[in-house]
Amino acid sequence: MTLHAFVQRVQRQLVIATIANGIAIAAGITLLTLAAAAFAKRANPFAVVIAILAGALLLGFLAWKSRALSSRTRVALWVEELVPSLNYALVTAAEARAPVAEIESAVRVETLRPLVRARLLRTTGRSLLLLGVASVVYLISPATSLGRGRVRAVLGQTFPRVVAPIDKVGSLTVRVIPPAYSRQRTIEQKDPGSLTTLSGSRILLRGPGSPEGVIVSVDDTPLKATGSEDEWRVTLTVNKPVSVVRASYLDKSRLIVIEGIPDKPPRVVLTLPLRDTTLRTPQFNGSLRAEAADDFGVTDGYFEYLIVSGSGEAFNGRTITSQPFRFDSRTGRLNAELSFANLKVGAGDVVSVRAIVRDNNTLSGPSIGTSDTRTFRVARADEYDSVSIEAAAPPPVDSSAMSQRMLILMTEALVKKQKKLTRKQFVRESDDIATLEDRIRKRVYDIIYQMDSPEGPGDTEEAESEIQAINNPDLKQAYDALWDAVRSLRIAEPAVALPPMRIALKALDRARLAQRLYLRGAAPRIVINVERVRMTGKEKGSSSVRTRQADEDSLRRVLAAGFENAMAMRAENSQLAIDQLALLRVRALEGAPEFAAAIREAIDLMRSNRDAEPAFARARKAIAGSQTTIPLSAEWGGG
Amino acid sequence: MSEFVFCTGRYESGDWDSAPSLPANLIDSIARYTSISVAPSAVIVPLSSPRILGYPLVYLTGHLPFRFSEAERANARKLVERGGMFFIDDHNHDVGGVFHKTALEEITRTFGKPSVLRNDHPLYRSFFTFPDGPPATSHELNGWGDNLVHQNLLAVMNGPRIAVLYSNKDYSSEWNYHPDNKRFSSVDNTRFGVNIVVYALSR
Amino acid sequence: MPGDASRTVSVSGTADLVRATRDEPGSALHFALGGIPTRTERAWLNALGSAGSEISWSGNLAPLAMASRPVSSPLGGYVISVSAPPDKALLLRDNISAIDTVTAASGFASIPVTVGTGNVRAVTGRDSAYVALRDTVGLRRVLVLGKAGWETKFLVTALEESGWRVDANISVAPSASVNQGGAVIDTATYSGVVALDESAASRAREIADFVRTGGGLVMGVAAARSAAFAALRISPPGPVPEILNTDDSVSHSSAAFATVQLTPEAVPIERRPEGVSVAARRVGFGRVVQIGYTETWRWRMQGGTAGKSEHADWWTQLLSQAVYARRWTPEQPLADAAPYANLIDIAGAAIPPVRSSSPLPAHSGQVMWLLLLFGLLLVEWASRRLRGAR
């Protein structure tokens, strides 16, 4: 190989080595920059741009610095620097247009080649070493999952003062996925102390770092954390009213209180018929109407007819349902026609009607909602003559109806004989009827507004049955009509008074029939002569043992002690105090809701480093209960 | 000192007054065997009235559908939550009957699912001792109703205490007679009723 | 008394006090006080007095004193008693938060504190006092004696729910009762006994001995009517009036009761417009509380949503006024319970201030700075005005 060719070859080698060095150094610097940003907790896209820019600039600088490589003379000089004994022979050979024999013979290429190679290798090796070191630093930096996870954990445990272990539970993300049927949106919260969601929701709990070492439990039941080197996650389902999720890693721990709100059963109100009815004959055709509503949606519903036949000790029941009604919304309406003929209802039967709806809860349901029951009772043919029912005094409504019928007859008679009477006589008789009519009006008023009735039953509790007329529209209609009738009769216009009198009679009749006839029978009232029979029994009872019925530690006592502890540790370890308060809140949710609400507010305020004293004051007042029941006496020191 | 007043609860859906002589019979037994201050006559109080809360032991029975209205259900819950007790007896003594089916449904809905009351429960020793649990009724032994002798009562508990005692043994028929007729019995069959009252008044 | 040779010092802090009196104590010192001196300041005054200075003071200070005692109840808590001027509002606070603002209408106020830690401080204006909450009580069991009935049943239930350890003897028949626990009635076993009716009469002698040796007794109307309790009761109860309820609810405030006629040794615990419903007296080392209510169980059953807790709280508070409880203080608590009284103890009562012989009051330094600041502001303002004029 000629010296010229040798220089050319070295030039090529130098270019390659320089490019390799430049790339290695630039890459090394880029990685070091990224690692430094991660260590400084500044790892973001901007830092990445800066790092790449730094590498590129360095590469450019190295390229600019190596621009001399384009000159063979400079390459030859570079070799001459390695071997000063060449005395510019190589430069001369490189600059010559043709090989110079003397020089070719004096300089042996074989001796130069190893020196050049060694130098190139040393330079490149240094660059690659830099790249290697930079790569390692980058790998163990928090910029990579390895660095965030295992390496940091090991380093953190080995050199806790130098490398703080990553706080895998310091920043938690909670995704709440409500059940599909609820059609609620998924929500995500950062670092919640507590959250409230629909029972059946799935909770995805996420935190930084690998799942290794992360311990998550729900009410002391451990859950397995999964995930990647970057992120651990745990999934759980809300199936209890209150759950306490505890996530811990090394000496760090976090509590999240999850309240599961159960899906409420649907509500259904039977709007027609409005009240129970008693019928003389088993003939009835009427409309049924019900309104249904649910917090998430009703799917279907129907009317249920329970027909009970029999008497005495023998009763048979059969249940029939109406055609189903389908819904796909939060509310629904059920309409049906009730026909006793279709249901084969006979005399003495009792038909109980109610509406039943189901919601769209496909998880724990469907929940069923039922309306109040309306009862249609068909009187037996012999009922009114039956000796099994003791005749009670006619109720006030009945006597009113009877009197009204009589007054109508009197008024009709007065109208008929009007021409035979003098004006004075006519006015007086009309006024007499008006007085009687007004008495009925007052009687009806008393019934509507539950005034005491002298004709009513004597037993205070039994008297309850007489106030069924409250809000009875029939009685109200009767009352209004009676007013009209009284006014007309007072001004001696009995003919005008008759229509409202008849309206009043019909309304009173309806009100009377609306009463449950079989309840009219009063049970025989047996009064025991207690003093006479006292301790006359032949057999003797014996003593028994009672056991304590309540926990020795009352809830309030537990809450008071726990609250005092949390307050005492507040100054030393705020996080521990918050956790203690969160657990107390769980205990209080059912039995002391006011305390629980105050504690929730206090926790939120403490988390955001705001003044929680007002919330503490409310919490302690909630525990104290009704403290001023007995005013503390200055004269009596007490125990 | 207030006296114990036996209370029959009146509910809208059925024949709540199907055992009209039972209250007086139990009042007679309470006076006969105990020194408990007891009112000489019973009261009937609508379950929908807040006045029912003044009677912490309420007796309910019937043959017909047993369903509470909303007001009745709300009061019943309050009564139990504050420490009261219901004694509900199926006058049909028939597990396939209308009362039993609807009553269990309503009890579950209002108070929670009832469970079998063990026959060594303190109820059976609260005054008289019933080592085999609830005493059988003649209606059960005669094969009426569902032709079964029910071995246990059902109960919904409020802590360790019975809040709702449910029987389908038909004590309503067994005890529904005038107390004067006790003289014809060799053994008073209302003794278990005394246990129920003593239990309610002391636990 | 400060004579001509006395020197008046206005004290606004410990540093002031020390500076003004350390180098030149003087034979007679008069202090013009703006607030009650702190413990340290009072100790300094005491030292000055011991060193031979004649100490006197003047100032409009609030005579503030307070004390705390633990409540004999399973729930614990304290009663803070404060003596303060009737026209001043007092703020009570402890290590947790503010507790309450009260006015001692008759110069005295008692405030219950169920939950509290550390010290409770009473503050009015610049004056304050504080006491530590460190006492504890040793509460024993309570025995309830009564006939089977709603009153007995719900009393036992309410006490148990409130955390009391209850023994009960519920009479069902002459030879039968429902028993829970039960032992000899003495102060080693029981803190208190509740005798509701005549069924307790058979143990009246035992109960009387118990009370005389320090035990507490709460006596119901029927028990107080019993001749067996004649020596313990305050007075035979009157009849329980019939009250016609216009609604179905029955609460403590609307309940009928048999008036307790007060005797000279009796103290009213609960006074209603109709008369005294609960009263107490001391018998031997113990206490007897006589109540006039016969149907408190109705408060629980018919008293609305708060009825249950009202019934239980009323009985707990009533019992805590009567029961015997051993009380101890684990360690001497740090307190400054009566600073005003302590000041009088050290320096005597307040006297009118004399003219200051000191050329400048203790606050003169601050006043000088204020004047300087004001002058600078004036110069600054004038400078701006003059610039504007030109």
pLDDT band, residue C40 (cuts 50/70/90):
confident
8 A C-beta contact, residue C172 and residue B198: yes
C182-232 pLDDT tens trace: 889 999 999 999 999 999 999 999 999 999 999 999 999 999 999 999 999
Q: Distances in Å between the alpha carbon of A185 and those of A201, A310, A361, A391, A571?
A: 11, 54, 16, 64, 40
pTM: 0.71
A242-249 and A252-261 strand pairing: antiparallel
Binding partners of A (≥3 Cβ pairs within 8 A): B, C
A contacts of C79 (beta carbons < 8 Å)? 632, 638
The CA distance from A487 to C295, in Å, is 51
Nearest to A563 by CA among C111, C160, C101, C77: C77
Point out which residues pair with B45 in neighbouring strands: B9
C271-308 pLDDT tens trace: 988 899 999 999 999 999 999 999 999 999 999 888 99
The CA distance from A626 to A553, in Å, is 19
Q: What chain A residue is nearest to C100 in terms of C-alpha separation?
A: A617
Q: What chain A residue is nearest to C157 in terms of C-alpha separation?
A: A549
Q: What is the pLDDT of residue A387?
A: 39
Q: Is the pLDDT of residue A233 over 90?
A: yes
Nearest to C243 by CA among C315, C319, C294: C294
Tell if the CB–CB gap between A639 and C95 is shorter than 8 Å. Answer: no
pLDDT band, residue B164 (cuts 50/70/90):
very high
Nearest to B57 by CA among B127, B7, B17, B2: B7
Q: What chain A residue is nearest to C164 in terms of C-alpha separation?
A: A552
Q: Which amino acid is at A202?
A: R
Task: Considering only the beta carbons, identify the residue of A552, A560, A617 that sits closest to C97.
Answer: A617
Q: Is the pLDDT of residue C243 over 60?
A: yes
Point out which residues pair with C69 in neighbouring strands: C79
Q: What is the pLDDT of residue A461?
A: 43
Residues 299-338 of C with CB under 8 A from A: 306, 309-310, 313-314, 317-318, 320-325
A597-603 contacts, C-beta under 8 A, 24 or more apart? A598/A622, A600/A194, A603/A193, A603/A194, A603/A578
Residue with tokens 């636990």, as numbered in its chain:
B203
Which residues 6+ apart lie within 8 Å of A421 measured at CB?
Answer: A429
Tell if the CB–CB gap between A530 and B33 is shorter than 8 Å. Answer: no
HSE-CB at C79 with a 13 A cutoff on CA atoms is: 23
Residues 107-166 of B with CB under 8 A from A: 109, 122, 125-129, 144, 159-161
Tell if the CB–CB gap between B83 and C300 is shorter than 8 Å. Answer: yes
Q: What is the pLDDT of residue B1?
A: 55
Average pLDDT of span A28-42? 85
C63-77 pLDDT tens trace: 888 888 888 888 888
Q: Is the pLDDT of residue C363 over 60?
A: no
Average pLDDT of span C119-125? 88
The CA distance from C212 to C201, in Å, is 17
pLDDT band, residue A165 (cuts 50/70/90):
low
C contacts of B163 (beta carbons < 8 Å)? none
8 A C-beta contact, residue B79 and residue B7: no
CB-based burial label for A217 (10 Å; 0-12, 13-18, 19+): middle
Tell if the CB–CB gap between C153 and B53 is shorter than 8 Å. Answer: no
DSSP per-residue string spanning A142-206: TTSHHIIIIIHHHHHHH-TTTSPPP-TTTS-EEEEE--GGGTPPPEEEES-SEEEEETT-EEEEE
Other CB atoms within 10 Å distance of the CB of residue C81: 20
The residue count of chain B comes to: 203
The CA distance from A125 to A131, in Å, is 10
pLDDT band, residue A411 (cuts 50/70/90):
very high
Residues 27-86 of C with CB under 8 A from A: 69, 71-72, 74-77, 79, 81
Binding partners of C (≥3 Cβ pairs within 8 A): A, B
pLDDT band, residue B21 (cuts 50/70/90):
very high
Numbered residues of chain B with Cβ closer than 8 Å to any chain C Cβ: 1-4, 33-37, 49-51, 53-54, 56, 79, 82-84, 126-127, 198, 200-203
Q: What is the pLDDT of residue A314?
A: 73
Residue B90, chain A, CB below 8 Å: the answer is: no
The CA distance from B14 to B8, in Å, is 13
Tell if the CB–CB gap between C178 and B198 is shorter than 8 Å. Answer: yes
Q: What chain C residue is nearest to A612 in terms of C-alpha separation?
A: C97
Least confidently predicted of A253-267, B157-171, C172-186, C334-348: C334-348
The CA distance from A342 to C253, in Å, is 58
Task: Give phi and psi for A341, each to the nearest 5.
Answer: -65, -45
Q: Which two tokens stand for residue B76?
A: 């019943």
Task: Considering only the beta carbons, identify the residue of B43, B101, B159 that sits closest to A550.
Answer: B159
More confident residue, A144 or A385: A144
A contacts of C168 (beta carbons < 8 Å)? 546
Q: Which two tokens stand for residue A373?
A: 């029951």
**Triad C110, C114, C118: Cα angle to 5°:** 90
Q: What is the pLDDT of residue C359?
A: 39
Point out which residues pair with C292 in neighbouring strands: none
8 A C-beta contact, residue C94 and residue C118: yes
The CA distance from B51 to B35, in Å, is 26
Other CB atoms within 10 Å distance of the CB of residue C128: 20
Residue C140, chain A, CB below 8 Å: the answer is: no
Q: What chain B residue is nearest to C298 in terms of C-alpha separation?
A: B54
The CA distance from B2 to B38, in Å, is 9
Other CB atoms within 10 Å distance of the CB of residue A144: 18
Q: Which residues of A330-359 are buried (b: 16+ CB within 10 A; e: fewer)?
A: eebebebebebeebebeebbbbbbbbbbbb
8 A C-beta contact, residue C65 and residue C337: yes
DSSP per-residue string spanning A281-331: SS--EEEEEEEEEEEEEEEEEEEEEEEEEEETTEEEEEEEE---EEEEEEE
The residue count of chain A comes to: 639
Nearest to A204 by CA among A223, A219, A221: A223
The CA distance from A218 to A517, in Å, is 59
Q: Distances in Å between the alpha carbon of B143 and those of A85, B94, B138, C146?
A: 131, 11, 9, 44
CB-based burial label for C305 (10 Å; 0-12, 13-18, 19+): exposed
Residue A533, chain C, CB below 8 Å: the answer is: no
pLDDT band, residue B35 (cuts 50/70/90):
very high
Element (H, E) at C50: helix C39-50
The CA distance from A232 to A166, in Å, is 13
Q: What is the pLDDT of residue C218?
A: 97
A279-305 pLDDT tens trace: 888 888 999 999 999 999 999 999 999
B contacts of C171 (beta carbons < 8 Å)? 35
Q: Is the pLDDT of residue B22 over 80?
A: yes
pLDDT band, residue C332 (cuts 50/70/90):
low
Q: Is the pLDDT of residue A397 over 70?
A: no
Tell if the CB–CB gap between C322 and A554 is shorter than 8 Å. Answer: no
Q: What is the pLDDT of residue A595?
A: 93
More confident residue, C67 or A97: C67
Q: Is the pLDDT of residue A30 over 70?
A: yes
Task: Considering only the beta carbons, identify the residue of B31, B173, B178 that sits closest to A530.
Answer: B31
**How far A612 CA lies from chain C's nearest CA (Å)?**
9
Q: Is the pLDDT of residue A482 over 60?
A: yes
Residue with tokens 């009825």, as numbered in its chain:
C307
Q: Distances in Å between the alpha carbon of C59 and those of A80, A140, C32, C36?
A: 102, 71, 6, 9
Q: Is the pLDDT of residue C1 over 50?
A: no
**How far B168 CA lies from chain C's nearest CA (Å)?**
27
Least confidently predicted of A264-268, A415-419, C335-339: C335-339
Task: Considering only the beta carbons, identify the residue of B35, B82, B201 that sits closest to C300.
Answer: B82
Tell if the CB–CB gap between B126 and C178 is shorter than 8 Å. Answer: yes
Residue B104, chain A, CB below 8 Å: the answer is: no
Q: Which two tokens stand for residue A166?
A: 């990553």
Which residues 6+ apart lie within 8 Å of C176 measured at CB?
Answer: A540, A541, A542, A543, A544, B34, B127
The mean pLDDT of chain A is 83
Question: What percent of chain C stands above pLDDT 90?
Answer: 38
Least confidently predicted of B88-92, B161-165, C24-28, C180-184: C24-28
Task: Give phi and psi for A188, each to the nearest 5.
Answer: -130, 135
Q: Distances in Å between the alpha carbon of A208 and those of A34, A230, B81, C100?
A: 19, 6, 47, 45
Residue with tokens 């009100």, as numbered in its chain:
A511
The CA distance from B195 to B85, in Å, is 13
pLDDT band, residue A7 (cuts 50/70/90):
confident
Average pLDDT of span A548-574? 85
Point out which residues pair with B166 in neighbouring strands: B88, B154
Ramachandran area for residue C121 (φ above 0: left; ψ -120 to 50: alpha; else beta)? beta
**How far B82 CA lies from chain C's nearest CA (Å)?**
6
The CA distance from A74 to B177, in Å, is 131
Q: What chain A residue is nearest to C321 in terms of C-alpha separation?
A: A638
The CA distance from C170 to B127, in Å, is 12
Tell if the CB–CB gap between B82 and C149 is shorter than 8 Å. Answer: no
Least confidently predicted of A83-97, A299-313, C206-220, C248-262: A83-97
Task: Give phi and psi for A302, each to the nearest 5.
Answer: -160, 165
Q: What chain B residue is nearest to C257 in terms of C-alpha separation?
A: B1
The mean pLDDT of chain C is 84
**How far A633 CA lies from chain C's nearest CA (Å)?**
6
The CA distance from C102 to A544, in Å, is 50
8 A C-beta contact, residue C130 and residue C106: no
A312-349 pLDDT tens trace: 667 788 999 999 999 989 999 999 999 999 999 998 88
| Number of continuous H segments (helices) and E segments (strands) in chain B | 6, 7
First to last CA, chain A: 117
